């Protein structure tokens, strides 16, 4: 669809959907129904003939721009309250976000009903669990698409979020999408989801997966995207929760909102679908019981009576983690190429999904063992040095604690941590980060991540307030200096963790965004040291 249109009489050759069917509880003004062939929730990008859906949030009140949308050629509007300036063609709904998402999915051909659509939610671990699940499905011979936090895949190639279809690596302000007819439509909204285009972008990507022959599609479902109703109109065949509990110190109202958002995903699982929950999480039953038409499957690091799929770690070192997988016809060893108990838990989540989907045990093992690296999660830097250097995106206490625990388990010496203080971060989050750092690291170098418009010294002072022994913390606001100091302090057998950024190769300051790559800084320093002192590094085996 080069351009979407709307008319009470469907135009020949252009897909259209009935708003009465999609929004049965809506109040129609001026007509009993509309046959809609195009919509947008951004008045700035409206094409003549489209329906304008007036979404309201803290940043954008669509109803205030109804007049401008009509001037631009909108055929009608979907609003949350009667709008006199909208004229005779308007649909009044309780929730414009929900309406917009449902219309987008229907116009895209309801792609979630044409492949096994799997949602992955949780406070931590969505990305890793989704990668494991995709790898298992592909090992079983099923082409699988993926929408993650940083990239999306159509089962053939991966692209950064924001990249145009057929143009890997091209990131721009607009998103070219393939519709059901294979032609392009511009899909960019004020940014109501974790991908360009919000609900419209999600529908476009799922549709493209179907066009590319995907048998399944895996989608990371953050609490924010669920709250924003991005997934309305999507029918999930399975939902996975990596956790339900939330970080210590999070305000109760925020915790309750997050739990409700995760429950929303499980309610959208189709009858007979799968609800995959973590038996080690005391709140797991909350999600396992919200949809009585779904089949509950559990996983955990416990005993066979507590979970359908469970595991026991046999060995953990710098090369990976070996664990015994239970729940299939017989126990089977799995050699993960990732380190740490948290990765075993995420592997078990994917294995539980596979068990319920009747995927062969050998394909499960092959899929888990094929995942060699996860962007921003304990990624290794090896320039021949005789100590471990890892980069991790952890900017919250729980993932930081997990990363430090994994490093301590595989290194014989001390653990050095480059800890980031972030601008606009809640005080309780900063204190929790400091507490996790003090518990898990032997030496802490406190620096800045993205200070944004907040005063750097205030950020550092807040962070120091979370340490019981702040005098033991070395403060270096310059991030490059902090990374280089941590590397210089490391001795044979030690481990250095550079946390906070992961693959984000930039730094956000008050007045500009500057390039800054933790990987590049660490590699450059290690290579320079090797050039000056070749005997002071470990020779590759």
Over residues 120-161, the pLDDT tens digits come to 999 889 999 999 999 999 999 999 999 987 789 999 998 877
pLDDT of residue 250: 66
pLDDT of residue 192: 42
| 27 within 8 A of 91, measured Cβ to Cβ | yes
Between 370 and 15, where is the model more confident?
370
pLDDT, tens digit, 9 for 90 and up, residues 175-189: 332 233 332 233 333
Structure tokens at 471: 């005098």
Q: Is 281 helix (H, G, I), strand (E, B) or coil?
A: coil
The Cα–Cα gap between 447 and 480 comes to: 9
Least confident stretch, 10-24, 169-183, 397-411, 417-431: 169-183
- pLDDT at residue 402 greater than cutoff 50: yes
pLDDT of residue 531: 81
pLDDT of residue 489: 96
- pLDDT at residue 190 greater than cutoff 50: no
- Sheet containing 158-160, strands listed edge to edge, beginning at the edge strand earlier in sequence: 158-160, 151-153, 144-147, 216-220, 116-121, 236-241, 269-278, 295-300, 309-317, 320-326, 332-336
pLDDT, tens digit, 9 for 90 and up, residues 442-486: 999 999 999 999 999 999 999 999 999 998 999 999 999 999 999
- pLDDT at residue 13 greater than cutoff 50: no
Mean pLDDT in residue range 419-442: 93
Q: Is 373 helix (H, G, I), strand (E, B) or coil?
A: coil
pLDDT, tens digit, 9 for 90 and up, residues 194-252: 455 689 999 999 999 999 999 999 999 998 899 989 999 999 999 999 988 666 666 77
pLDDT, tens digit, 9 for 90 and up, residues 64-96: 999 999 999 998 899 999 988 887 789 999 999
Mean pLDDT in residue range 101-130: 95
Strands 76-79 and 90-92: parallel
Mean pLDDT in residue range 103-119: 96
- pLDDT at residue 507 greater than cutoff 60: yes
Least confident stretch, 28-32, 118-122, 301-305: 301-305
Mean pLDDT in residue range 268-287: 91
Helix, strand, coil abundance in the chain, percent, nearest 5: 35, 25, 40
Least confident stretch, 21-35, 153-167, 181-195, 421-435: 181-195
Q: Is 101 helix (H, G, I), strand (E, B) or coil?
A: helix
| 41 within 8 A of 69, measured Cβ to Cβ | no
pLDDT of residue 197: 64
Mean pLDDT in residue range 4-33: 73
| Residue 166: band (very low, low, confident or very high) from pLDDT cuts 50, 70, 90 | very low
- pLDDT at residue 17 greater than cutoff 80: yes
| 361 within 8 A of 369, measured Cβ to Cβ | no
- The domains of the chain, with CATH numbers, are 5-106 (3.40.1390.10), 108-370 (3.40.1190.10), 379-536 (3.90.190.20)
Is the four-CA dihedral 425, 429, 432, 433 of positive or negative sign?
A: negative
pLDDT of residue 72: 92
pLDDT of residue 233: 96
pLDDT of residue 14: 55
pLDDT of residue 249: 61
Between 173 and 163, where is the model more confident?
163
pLDDT of residue 530: 86
| 359 within 8 A of 141, measured Cβ to Cβ | no
pTM of the model: 0.86
> CA torsion, points 202, 205, 209, 215, in degrees to nearest 10?
-10
């Amino acid at each position: 669809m080069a351009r979407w249109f709307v008319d009470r009489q469907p135009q020949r050759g252009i897909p259209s959907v009935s708003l009465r069917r999609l929004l049965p509880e809506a109040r129609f003004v001026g007509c009993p129904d509309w046959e809609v062939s195009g919509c947008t929730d951004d008045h700035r990008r409206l094409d003549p003939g489209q329906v304008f859906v007036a979404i309201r949030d803290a940043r954008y009140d669509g109803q205030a721009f109804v007049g401008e949308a009509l001037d631009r050629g909108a055929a009608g509007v979907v609003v949350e309250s009667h709008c006199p300036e909208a004229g005779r063609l308007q649909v009044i709904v309780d929730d414009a976000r929900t309406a917009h998402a449902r219309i987008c999915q229907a116009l895209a051909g309801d792609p979630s009903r044409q492949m096994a659509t799997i949602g992955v939610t949780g406070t931590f671990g969505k990305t890793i669990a989704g990668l494991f699940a995709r790898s298992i499905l592909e090992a079983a011979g099923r082409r699988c698409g993926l929408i993650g936090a940083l990239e999306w895949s159509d089962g053939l190639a991966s692209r950064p979020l924001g990249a145009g279809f057929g143009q890997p690596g091209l990131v721009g302000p607009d998103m070219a999408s393939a519709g059901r007819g294979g032609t392009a439509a511009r899909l960019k909204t004020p940014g109501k989801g974790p991908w360009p285009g919000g609900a419209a972008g999600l529908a476009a990507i799922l549709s493209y997966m179907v066009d590319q022959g995907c048998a399944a599609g895996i989608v990371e479902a953050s609490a924010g995207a669920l709250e924003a109703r991005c997934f309305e109109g999507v029918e999930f065949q399975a939902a996975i929760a990596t956790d339900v509990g939330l970080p210590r110190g999070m305000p109760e109202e925020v915790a309750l909102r997050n739990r409700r958002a995760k429950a929303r995903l499980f309610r959208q699982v189709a009858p007979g679908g799968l609800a995959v929950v973590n038996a080690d999480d005391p709140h797991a039953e909350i999600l396992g019981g919200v949809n009585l038409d779904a089949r509950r499957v559990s996983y955990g690091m416990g005993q066979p009576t507590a979970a359908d799929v469970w595991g026991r770690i046999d060995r953990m070192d710098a090369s990976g983690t070996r664990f015994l997988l239970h729940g299939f016809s017989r126990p089977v060893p799995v050699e993960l190429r990732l380190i740490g108990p948290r990765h075993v838990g995420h592997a078990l989540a994917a294995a539980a999904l596979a068990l319920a989907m009747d995927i062969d045990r050998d394909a499960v093992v092959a899929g888990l063992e094929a995942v060699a690296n996860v962007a921003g999660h304990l990624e290794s830097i090896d320039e021949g040095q005789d100590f471990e250097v890892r980069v991790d995106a952890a900017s919250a206490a729980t993932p930081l604690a997990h990363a430090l625990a994994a490093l301590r388990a595989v290194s014989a010496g001390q653990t050095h941590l480059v800890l980031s203080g972030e601008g606009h971060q809640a005080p309780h989050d900063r204190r929790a980060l400091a507490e996790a750092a003090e518990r898990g690291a032997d030496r802490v170098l406190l620096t800045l991540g993205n200070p944004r418009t907040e005063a750097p010294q205030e950020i550092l002072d807040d962070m120091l307030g979370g340490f019981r022994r702040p005098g033991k913390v070395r403060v270096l606001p310059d991030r490059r200096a902090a990374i280089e100091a941590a590397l210089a302090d490391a001795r044979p057998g030690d481990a250095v963790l550079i946390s906070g950024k992961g693959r984000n190769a930039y730094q956000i300051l008050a007045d500009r965004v500057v390039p800054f790559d933790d990987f590049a800084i660490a590699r450059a320093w290690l290579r320079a040291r090797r050039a000056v002192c070749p005997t002071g590094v470990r020779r590759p085996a």
